[in-house]
Amino acid sequence: MRFGVFEADLNARELRRSGRRLRLQDQPFFVLAALLEQPGTVVTREELRQRLWPVDTFVDFDHSLNTAVNKLREVLGDSAANPRFIETLARRGYRFVAEVHKDVPREEPPAKVVPQPTSDPWSLVESDAEPDLPKPHRGLTRALFALIQTMYLVFYMVALFHGEDLYRVAWPRAGLPIVFITALVTAAMGIPLRLYLLSGTAFDYSRLGDKFKSIFHGVLILDQLWAIAPFLLLDRIGFGPALGSTAALLYVPFAERTLIRMAYAGRTNPVQQDRVAL
């Protein structure tokens, strides 16, 4: 509570003047606390007696109370004849006449919520969202990504150049050579896709990460279909190598995604940079 140049902390039992702590005994401070709690209201001597001394305490009440009030006035620089703080009402009690300002706890402004990047498993350009990824030289990751694209290009070209052999192993007697048609269609779609990714890697296209993210699900489906290609050579390589090769090829699209993340993490295009700045 504040009044004039004084500040009273009722919990800590401290009285300060202009920030400097004043020495005040307990009983004078208890009198001050009782008056501050009811500013402008008469606090009777009986109320003060009950507050300062227990019922079974034997003390010269009038003398002790007068002494406590006088010490309080001395510290406050007040007087009974011309009171600025404590007014005496004869045979009744005391009244605090100065204006009292109660300290209201300041409401802290609500914490500003800053959007944090979410841990998106498909995110390809937010470097902060992928703290667990290693950071090798970008040339190495780009070269590995380009090798994977070249590998698929070789798959597609070999399949097209050996179309007759592929047709023979595609079970045409089943009514419709589904495997043969699927291989031709996916190879025709995969060739321009791989050339695009190869050229983007070769020229270090800054938005390649964004582009690959947008087409990743299509690449995933395409690569999963071609992962069973080793079983077309089952008669030549055997079941074990075919199964092992298929297992490795099933992982390749995820390796492509990881390589792109490492190579193009944080490489935001100019439009995105402007949005971030705004």
- DSSP labels, 93-106: EEEE-S--BPPPPP
pLDDT tens, 167-212? 665 555 444 567 667 777 888 888 888 898 889 888 888 888 888 8
Q: At residue 124, does pLDDT exceed 60?
A: no
Q: Long-range contacts: 229-233, Cβ < 8 Å, 24+?
A: 229/155, 229/159, 229/183, 232/166, 232/169, 232/170, 232/179
pLDDT over threshold 80, residue 110: no
Provide CATH code, domain 2-96: 1.10.10.10
For the stretch 208-233, pLDDT in tens is: 888 888 888 888 888 888 877 777 67
Rounded CA-CA distance 139/131 in Å is 20
**What is the rounded distance in angstroms from the CA atom of residue 109 to the CA atom of residue 259?**
44
Mean pLDDT of 60-88: 87
Q: What pLDDT is recorded for position 150?
A: 92
CA pair distance 188, 165, nearest whole angstrom:
18
pLDDT score at 165: 63
> pTM here?
0.46
Domain segments of the chain as ranges: 2-96, 138-277
Residue that is written with structure tokens 């009044």 in the block: 3
Question: Is the model's pLDDT at 262 over the cut of 80?
Answer: yes
Query: Does pLDDT of 126 surpass 50?
Result: no
Angle at Cα 181 formed by Cα 178 and Cα 182, nearest 5°? 80
- Predicted pLDDT of residue 277: 41
